[in-house]
Amino acid sequence: MSRPSRVRVIGPLKPHATGFRRELLSQGYTAHSASYQLQLMAHASRWLESRGHDIGDFIPTRVEEFLDARQAEGYTLWLSTKAMAPLLGYLRDLGLVPAPSPVDPATPAEALLERYRCYLIQERGLSPSTIASYSHVAKLFLFNRSPEGELDLERLNAAAITAFVLGECRARRVGSAKYIVCGLRALLRFLYAEGHAESQLADAVPSVAGWRLAGLPKALSRRDVSALLASCDRRTTFGRRDFAVLTLLVRLGLRAGEVAALALVDIDWRAGEVVIHGKGRRKERLPLPIDVGKALVGWLRRGRPRCESLKVFTRVRAPHRGLTSGGVSAVVRSAADRAGLSEVHAHRLRHTAATEMLRAGASLSDVGQVLRHASTLTTSLYAKVDRQTLRTLAQPWPGGEA
């Protein structure tokens, strides 16, 4: 049965079958996939009716009962809560099914973590990605001290903090270690403000020995960039989307989050400009190169599904939501695998864009404007890759040829 309109729904969910079918099709589900979802709805409705339940009784525990009964009847597909997500989401949006109750923290540490997360949202006003990072570090620290989830903060002192940092950062790279100590300082400030620590211990967190500008930006060669772009089969929908994503990263040096945040209204086709939503909620305009514009047109006209999302880049398969920064990074990793490259991340393409601009004769100031660096010191890192200019500054080696 591949036509959704032929699925017959009886029972308490019957009045909402037509609306659910329309919702599925509007989200980009194929007729075949929508039919399966409606069959699941029909089975759930029959099950509710057979037990004398109404729609409002379809709470999480009852959903589990239904899935167990479905498996007992011999069904082999659509047996998880994930499979029920489209139906339950639709019913919840209509206010017919209650949302899952928040799970009460099982341990004191989990309760503290929840209060910390609320503090980061309400008091600090941090971005979701920063909140997730800080919460991860807090969980590492608290459960490192007490794996059972008990709060063991009475004996918290500088020695314990140093021991945690050394143990956690020993096998990490400099950037990852800095992420740990930054998150730990934020947690310790919160613990002091909440009265869990008698003294301010944030200053006791040791610094990471990482010198600014010590590293060398790892850019891809032109051959590798060509291989990366060529790995996208632009005869397919996936290929057109991935090619447009990679072109933006390589040519404009955008961050993964900036590509994910790009909305349809951000592209000014007449002016040949694009609005970038950067760090610190800044909005900045960049010129739209011709090749980038062509890549975007190829995706928007012959690839992007019709959907309600206002984002430029969406999922190809239903539901057609906007890509996240993680989705953009996954596009880069998949392309690198196809091209036979290793260790290619989205930020490496940003380094590649900067390096190519320098090779083309752009100044460091120009590179900083395109990459939207807040400080010229950040851009000065790329002075190391401008070898031609560096040769004019190098002093002759003593005893060498003149």
Catalytically annotated residues: 255, 279, 347, 350, 373, 382
**What is the C-alpha R_g of the chain?**
27
- What are the backbone angles phi and psi of residue 176, rounded to the nearest 5°? -70, -35
Strand, helix or coil for residue 121 = helix
C-alpha–C-alpha distance, residues 381 and 213, integer Å: 5
**Contact yes or no for 23/48 (Cβ under 8 A):** no
C-alpha–C-alpha distance, residues 268 and 299, integer Å: 16
Cis peptide before 98 (omega within 30 of 0): no
C-alpha–C-alpha distance, residues 20 and 13, integer Å: 10
C-alpha–C-alpha distance, residues 225 and 255, integer Å: 17
**Contact yes or no for 138/158 (Cβ under 8 A):** no
C-alpha–C-alpha distance, residues 241 and 225, integer Å: 17
Closest alpha carbon to 81 in 95, 92, 65, 93: 65
Bridge partners (DSSP) listed for residue 268: 273
What single string gives the DSSP state of each residue in 325-343?
A: HHHHHHHHHHHHHHHT--S
For residue 244, how far is the Cα from the chain centroid? 18
What single string gives the DSSP state of each residue in 293-312?
A: HHHHHHHHHHTSPP-S--BS
C-alpha–C-alpha distance, residues 341 and 322, integer Å: 27
What single string gives the DSSP state of each residue in 174-232?
A: HHHHHHHHHHHHHHHHHHHHHTSSSS--GGGSPPP---TT-S---PPPHHHHHHHHHTS
